[in-house]
Amino acid sequence: MLTKIENLSEYFLAYEKSVANPETFWGRVANQFFWRKKWDKVVDYNFEKADVKWFENAKLNITENILERYLYTLGDKPAIIWEPNDPKEKGITLTYKQLFEKVCEFSNVLKKNGIEKGDRVIIYMPMIPEAAIAMLACARVGAVHSVVFAGFSSSALADRVNDCEAKMVLTSDGNFRGAKSIPVKEVVDEALEKCTTIEKVIVAQRTKTEVTMKAGRDLWWHEETAKVDTQHKAEEMDSEDMLFILYTSGSTGKPKGVVHTTGGYMVYTQYSFQNVFQYNSDDVYWCTADVGWITGHSYIVYGPLLSGATTIMFEGVPTYPDAGRFWEICDKYKVNQFYTAPTAIRALQAFGLDPVTPYKLDSLKVLGTVGEPINEEAWHWYHDHIGKGKCPIVDTWWQTETGGIMISPLAGLTPTKPAYATLPLPGIRPIIVDAEGKELKGNGVQGNLCINFPWPSMIRTTYGDHQRCIDTYFSTYKGMYFTGDGVKRDEDGYYRILGRVDDVINVSGHRMGTAEVENAINEHPLVVESAVVGYPHEIKGQGIYAYVICDTEGRTEASLKDEIKATVNKIIGPIAKPDKIQIVPGLPKTRSGKIMRRILRKVAENDTSSLGDTSTLLNPEVVDEIIKGAQ
């Protein structure tokens, strides 16, 4: 590949060029793709209006850059290797040629069932090959996919369907996860009671459990694909046409639909994939994320497939049938690049070395982490026991909104330092500002992380509400994209991400807006008010601590807490269930009625020695009671 960086001095050179002349730099990278028509201008932007365009007026279809592009050169190479939940079940390998056929076939199914360019399609599916096929088929016909993590509840699913006014849902009968078989279609049925825009639901068969099929609306995947052929001409898309919407949590209660467009996302996910992981043509790459999150979009599906890579999709969980499952899969497929989340590493570390030692792990060349800060202890365990001291760790910092990896070592090229994401990728210009937005120049500084120049895969808007995009990302600091993260730049110029500085917490690598969890808790009829904060959690990184004011109406505290957890489970899903709930007589409030979260955070962290000034509180007496009742 022309733009693959092969040593550290090439990285510095590429970085310099990308800053000195971004148009030439990205134009050269983009030239490696297949465009039906090239762009008039590489980049145009106005951050104050959150208006960003890459490869203006260029025409393409992203799937032609995966399927047609590799058909003759890599047709028989495995594109997707699917490993089922149960190791005794046979996996599935799809070569590039087979993937091409399956995507075309399903594109025809979408068209036949009324999907047109620009329509929104919800994908609510477990980790089965059909999920990736569905995404690519949407992209091929020009429909906008919005994948909703299959662990979300029916009410969270309904909110997303309604927000983007989707026309179709793609789903499965059920989902195998560890020892459990979980209903999926049933959740869709419940959600759709609250939706009016869905015309068709297509159901892939996985668990073969019985499901209700609504006449005129619900169709079976295998029956529909049997009716169409495997030829399909891809729709022509503009570079700035929407590729997908992915909902994510922010500081306010309502999830926002982060919008990514076609050309820039394609260029950047491929470029970052090949450089960060230093992928070589015969390597086998495995990212353990779920396609319901951005990591699954960019680094299971698009980035690897655009690079002609072999990408593994794993249906199951790291601890089933035992805590050696990841390592068993690494040996089975001779995985070369392995990419996971710190929470998974910590969870597996807790089992000790017995589940690791039976495996050779000698194919591994690169280890990656993503989603949350990795603590040094987990970094060393990963490095020593999984990488056997010889695999570089790429600690990749990025976000749903950034579309691709922003700050990360390039594997084997950038010298690493535990817990540091190290240096920005070419084209990425991080700057650190203080609370007032003043740039903190030089090394040895700490503040809020912003990016002050566009990059190709950045967020374009929040679906249906552009003002929200401006307010959330481009208004805190004028002329800059604000990430919401705190950061330190050390004496070597290396970046270390310190975590969120807004009301977002990071639970097992999943982003959770505290307001969203509070809204869910408040749905319980006896709850008067609640406040949610994060606290350090050994495995999850951060746990959810909820302070709740409620009437007990004769119930015990324990049963009330169970009911509150069940409410959150129903409204959002199991990932948002509070780890700790404390029933409190009141919440510390300022005279203007704002909850003083700083105090609640300190109590949750069990650090009440320095609560700071509480004299401005309306109800200072409540603080002592909260401390007394702390969990």
State the minimum distance, in angstroms, from the CB of residue 167 to ligand WTA. 26
Q: In 3-state terms, what secondary structure has residue 180?
A: strand
Residues 373-392 touching ligand WTA, rule: CB under 6 A, are: 373
Query: Of 506 and 567, which has the nearer Cβ to ligand WTA?
Result: 506
Q: In 3-state terms, what secondary structure has residue 503?
A: coil
Binding of ligand WTA by 399 (CB under 6 A): yes
Instruction: State which of residues 129, 371, 409, 426 lies at the interface with ligand WTA (CB under 6 A).
Output: 371
Binding of ligand WTA by 473 (CB under 6 A): no
Instruction: State which of residues 69, 468, 511, 540 lies at the interface with ligand WTA (CB under 6 A).
Output: 511
Binding of ligand WTA by 315 (CB under 6 A): no
| CA–CA gap between residue 379 and residue 349 (Å, rounded) | 11
Instruction: State which of residues 66, 127, 128, 294 lies at the interface with ligand WTA (CB under 6 A).
Output: 294
**CA distances for 452 relative to 19, 334, 427, 449, 476, angstroms:** 11, 40, 11, 10, 13
| CA–CA gap between residue 151 and residue 446 (Å, rounded) | 36
Written as six digits, the tokens of 379 are 């970094």
**CB of 311 within 8 A of CB of 80?**
yes
Lay out the site mask for ligand WTA across 416-455 (x = CB under 6 A, - = otherwise): -----x----------------------------------
**CB of 514 within 8 A of CB of 485?**
no
Window contacting ligand WTA (CB under 6 A); options: 22-30, 63-71, 165-173, 497-505: 497-505
- 76 contacts: CB under 8 Å, gap ≥ 6: 95, 96, 97
Instruction: State which of residues 397, 455, 473, 535 lies at the interface with ligand WTA (CB under 6 A).
Output: 397
Residues 232-251 touching ligand WTA, rule: CB under 6 A, are: 248
Query: Of 290 and 485, which has the nearer Cβ to ligand WTA?
Result: 485
| CA–CA gap between residue 472 and residue 316 (Å, rounded) | 35
Instruction: State which of residues 429, 468, 500, 565 lies at the interface with ligand WTA (CB under 6 A).
Output: 500
Query: Of 176 and 247, which has the nearer Cβ to ligand WTA?
Result: 247
Binding of ligand WTA by 396 (CB under 6 A): yes
State the minimum distance, in angstroms, from the CB of residue 513 to ligand WTA. 11
State the minimum distance, in angstroms, from the CB of residue 314 to ligand WTA. 18
State the minimum distance, in angstroms, from the CB of residue 488 to ligand WTA. 11
Q: How many whole angstroms from its chain centre is CA 52?
A: 22
Written as six digits, the tokens of 485 are 């993260």
Query: Of 22 and 292, which has the nearer Cβ to ligand WTA?
Result: 292
CA 540-523-155 angle, 5° bins: 70
Residues 476-495 touching ligand WTA, rule: CB under 6 A, are: 483-485
Q: Which residues pair with 529 in a beta bridge?
A: 549
Query: Of 109 and 378, which has the nearer Cβ to ligand WTA?
Result: 378
Window contacting ligand WTA (CB under 6 A); options: 146-154, 366-374, 455-463, 548-556: 366-374
Binding of ligand WTA by 372 (CB under 6 A): yes
Binding of ligand WTA by 457 (CB under 6 A): no
User: 84-90, long-range: CB within 8 Å, 24+ apart, which pairs?
Assistant: 84/176, 84/315, 84/316, 85/176, 85/177, 85/178, 85/315, 85/316, 85/317, 85/320, 86/176, 86/316, 86/321, 87/321, 87/325, 87/328
State the minimum distance, in angstroms, from the CB of residue 292 to ligand WTA. 10
Query: Of 123 and 393, which has the nearer Cβ to ligand WTA?
Result: 393
* Burial class, 338, CB count within 10 angstroms (exposed 0-12 / middle 13-18 / buried 19+): buried
Binding of ligand WTA by 414 (CB under 6 A): no
* H, E, C per residue of 1-50: CCCCCCCHHHHHHHHHHHHHCHHHHHHHHHCCCCCCECCCEEEEEEHHHC
* Size of site (CB under 6 A) for ligand WTA: 23
State the minimum distance, in angstroms, from the CB of residue 289 to ligand WTA. 9
What is the contact surface with ligand WTA in residues (CB under 6 A)? 248, 293-295, 370-373, 395-400, 421, 483-485, 497, 499-500, 506, 511
